[in-house]
Amino acid sequence: MKDSNPATEPIGQNLIKLISNLCFSVFVFSVLIFTVIAITYQPPDPWLESAPALTKLFTESENATFQTDNSIINTGEDLASVLPPAASPNATATPITEAAIEKIENQITNSTLPQPDCEKVGFVNCSDPHVLIAVEKFNLKVFKSIAFLEYQTPVNGSKPDECDVAWRFRNKKEKSWRKYRDFRRFRFDVGENCTYKVVHSGGWHSGLNARRPRSRINATRAGGNPKVAPQIRDDEINDTIPSLGSEMNFRKGKYLYYSRGGDYCKGMNHYMWSFLCGLGEAMYLNRTFVMDLSMCLAATYNPSNKDEEGKDFRYYFDFEHLKETASVVEEGEFLRDWKKWNRSHKRKVPVKKVVSHKLTPLQLKKDKSTIIWRQFDAPEPENYWYRVCEGQAAKYIQRPWHALWKSKRLMNIVSEISGRMDWDFDAVHVVRGGKAQNKELWPHLDSDTSPDALLEKLKGMIQPWRNLYIATNEPYYNYFDKLRSNFKIHLLDDYKELWGNTSEWYNETSLLNDGKPVEFDGYMRVAVDTEVFYRAKTRVETFYNLTKDCKDGVNTC
């Protein structure tokens, strides 16, 4: 009988111990990694948590400079899922419903007022409440995408069987509280017991007799051309610059002042991301944000392909809404009052100068200085405003997207274009421009958006002879002519008179620019295209609908 080798037992035991130690080491190492991640993880901006697509749009960066597609521009009113209740009193407007109309109709029927003898009248009595009820019912049936908010009493049209009616409305796809105005001419048929039926409705703004006179501005005082139509102001827009008032009001205030940084003249998505960082920090610190209304529009939006300074914030964004939702002061007013106080008082205004974005909002929370002055003098990308909201600050600074809406002047153009198509249209977003020429990143985009390819694709998506709005960066107007054989084509340039020198937009923006004309620039075109596209019943996108190329280039889908 052979003796067993005594060396074999320790080897087996050692192997088991080695495996056990290895497993335990892996476990400890995994716990360590998990702990590090848990400590250093920075959650995304909570305002964008429920909108991952927009998070990607605004946070994708290369070398800390935004490289985004500017063919679609989103602002606060487009983020429906993350908007808090509107702060404006206008938000209380309740849409008119069928139930509300029936209630009023029953009250009129059951009233003791004498009923008119319709057979003897021989024409439509536009002041009869039944006329308005007929119009309200007609509108609810025909314009299902519109929320009707209030009506004016009908007035006589041009013929005995016509009445002109005005109302205020908003599109159901627009989540803001803003109201728009339409007035149309209706023709009626009168039945038994003075029952009115609408037999014909005019188009957008056809009821001229119901158009309310609007406040006129002296053209010569505004530096206008006497050959240009009288200047008319939208009374619902109040984007005047607020004043701080007395010196004591200035001294009692608390301000957050951002000096101009590297964000100046960057793309509009970059601007919004940085601006809302500063505004979010001001809200966190419970301070008034000092804002510069003078903007620089990046070269990508200008035909000259050059950056253009001196653009007014109010051309692009709704300053009235911003004033209602956040505490802001215009930089010029602020600097004047600051200098005035320092000149007239021995004790200067307390100022805390912050030279690095690395000093976090949390560290400034208890600062008592009247002015916290963030200075962005470092080289790019250290001088970008949005760097303040990175790192630990991302945990408690919320970008107030709800405060930033597109200008109502631009939205009036959107409503005008949509209304002229009777709110019954489809839309396609055709991305071309530089992307179509870049075969390396988008090898099929040019051919997939060619007129022949577009026609074949859209035939299977859009019913023939529908109104089709094309939102595009294609510069050649006649590029889409082939589509006219199947659809009623509408392009932004079909509506040039809406920003021409006799338009309301032209007059109002000139007033903001000391009477000098304002160019309808590339960003404005993109903003209007975006909003008209959003209001379409059927929307066809370039990527995922028209081409298999990825939105951000090869292998990024």
pLDDT of amino acid 493: 97
| From 159-168, 185-194, 257-266, 493-502, the region with the lowest mean pLDDT | 185-194
271 pLDDT more than 80: yes
Residue 61: is it exposed, middle or buried by C-beta count within 10 angstroms (0-12/13-18/19+)?
A: middle
Please write the tens of the pLDDT for every residue from 369-388: 999 999 999 999 999 999 99
Asked whether the beta carbons of 319 and 75 are under 8 A apart, the reply is no
In which band, very low, low, confident or very high, does the pLDDT at 351 lie, cut at 50, 70 and 90? Answer: very high
58 pLDDT more than 70: no
Helix (H, G, I), strand (E, B) or coil at 115: coil
| From 121-130, 210-219, 318-327, 530-539, the region with the lowest mean pLDDT | 210-219
56 pLDDT more than 60: no
Cβ neighbours of 286 (radius 10 Å):
10
In which band, very low, low, confident or very high, does the pLDDT at 53 lie, cut at 50, 70 and 90? Answer: very low
> Tell me, what amino acid is at 437?
Q
Global confidence as pTM: 0.82
CA 186, CA 181: separation in Å to the nearest integer? 16
Cβ neighbours of 228 (radius 10 Å):
16
354 pLDDT more than 50: yes
- Domain ranges across the chain: 59-74+243-403, 93-212, 408-540
In which band, very low, low, confident or very high, does the pLDDT at 114 lie, cut at 50, 70 and 90? Answer: low
**Nearest-10 Cα torsion for 143, 145, 149, 155:** -20
pLDDT of amino acid 120: 54
Assign 3-state DSSP to the chain and report helix, strand, coil percentages, each to 5: 40, 15, 45
Supply the Cα-derived Rg of the chain in whole angstroms.
31
- Token pair in block for residue 32: 């360590």
H or E element that contains 296? strand 294-297
pLDDT of amino acid 540: 97
> Tell me, what amino acid is at 476?
Y
pLDDT of amino acid 2: 47
> Tell me, what amino acid is at 242?
P
Mean pLDDT of 39-59: 39
- Token pair in block for residue 264: 């100046």
| From 35-39, 315-319, 399-403, 414-418, the region with the lowest mean pLDDT | 35-39
- Token pair in block for residue 557: 């889908």
Higher pLDDT, 316 or 122: 316
- Token pair in block for residue 114: 């004498």
pLDDT of amino acid 165: 97
Asked whether the beta carbons of 274 and 385 are under 8 A apart, the reply is yes
203 pLDDT more than 50: yes
* Closest by CA position to 321, among listed 89, 161, 61, 48: 89
408-420 vs 522-534: helix crossing angle, rounded to 10:
50
DSSP string for 147-177: EEEEEPPPEE-SSTTEEEEEEEEEETT--S-
Q: Quickly tell me which residue has 């010569």 as its tokens.
A: 220
Which residues are CB-contacts of 374 (< 8 A; sequence separation ≥ 6)? 256, 257, 258, 259, 278, 354, 357, 388
The mean predicted confidence, pLDDT, of the chain is 84
- Token pair in block for residue 27: 């476990």
In which band, very low, low, confident or very high, does the pLDDT at 215 lie, cut at 50, 70 and 90? Answer: low
| From 19-23, 118-122, 552-556, the region with the lowest mean pLDDT | 118-122
In which band, very low, low, confident or very high, does the pLDDT at 236 lie, cut at 50, 70 and 90? Answer: confident
Mean pLDDT of 65-81: 61
Asked whether the beta carbons of 550 and 557 are under 8 A apart, the reply is yes
